[in-house]
């Protein structure tokens, strides 16, 4: 079964007009989950990647599994106030408000190559915040990987303006 077929669509969540792409149905399928991680890791093999940084919360699942497969460290990027040690943060705008992404100040060393991983690329605001946060520590962005890309919401273009070429396994149109 193709990966895309294992992703559930929930209409009008979290607000009317939004078609939410839910990867929990993909995660519960052992073959689908294993295939997802293998296919996301494949383009990264042979490249220097020191750490994977992934966004809370579904990004943690995919990012940690990829870190294990690729033999890299893992850096959790969390919402404000969730990490126990000293943090560095980056504020960013959402379509309906603002948020903040944080990581421990000692999570990424200057010159380390970091792959950004999340479940969905939509408008690109969270991904851009992750890129800027890692860059603020002196880390270098090795790339950005997503399970899903929602086409037409500007996320790809936003990352391309930063000189990045995001990779995604499956694509859905913005509905």
Catalytic machinery residues: 58, 95
DSSP for residue 4? G
Closest CA to 105 of 151, 137, 69, 140: 137
Signed CA dihedral, 66, 69, 72, 78: sign only: positive
Alpha-carbon gap, residue 164 to 155, rounded angstroms: 11
- Rg of the chain over Cα atoms, rounded to whole angstroms, equals 15
* Token output for 54: 């992934």
**Beta strand extents in 33-112 (DSSP E only):** 51-55, 73-79, 87-94, 97-104
For residue 14, cis peptide bond before it (omega within 30 degrees of 0):
yes
DSSP 86: -
Residue 128, both tokens: 């851009």
């Amino acid at each position: 079964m193709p990966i895309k077929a294992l992703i559930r669509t929930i209409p009008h969540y979290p607000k009317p007009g939004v078609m939410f792409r839910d990867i929990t149905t993909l995660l519960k399928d052992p073959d689908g989950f294993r295939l997802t991680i293998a296919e996301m890791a494949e383009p990264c093999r042979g490249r220097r990647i020191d750490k994977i940084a992934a966004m809370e919360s579904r990004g943690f699942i995919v990012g940690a599994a990829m870190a294990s497969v690729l033999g890299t460290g893992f850096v959790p990027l969390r919402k404000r106030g969730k990490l126990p040690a000293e943090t560095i943060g980056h504020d960013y705008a959402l379509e309906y408000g603002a948020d903040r992404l944080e990581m421990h100040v000692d999570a990424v060393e200057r010159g380390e190559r970091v792959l950004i991983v999340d479940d969905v690329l939509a408008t690109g605001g969270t991904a851009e915040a992750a890129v800027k946060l890692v860059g603020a520590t002196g880390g270098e962005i090795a790339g950005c990987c997503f399970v899903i890309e929602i086409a037409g919401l500007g996320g790809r273009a936003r990352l391309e303006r930063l000189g990045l070429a995001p990779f995604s396994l499956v694509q859905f149109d913005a509905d």
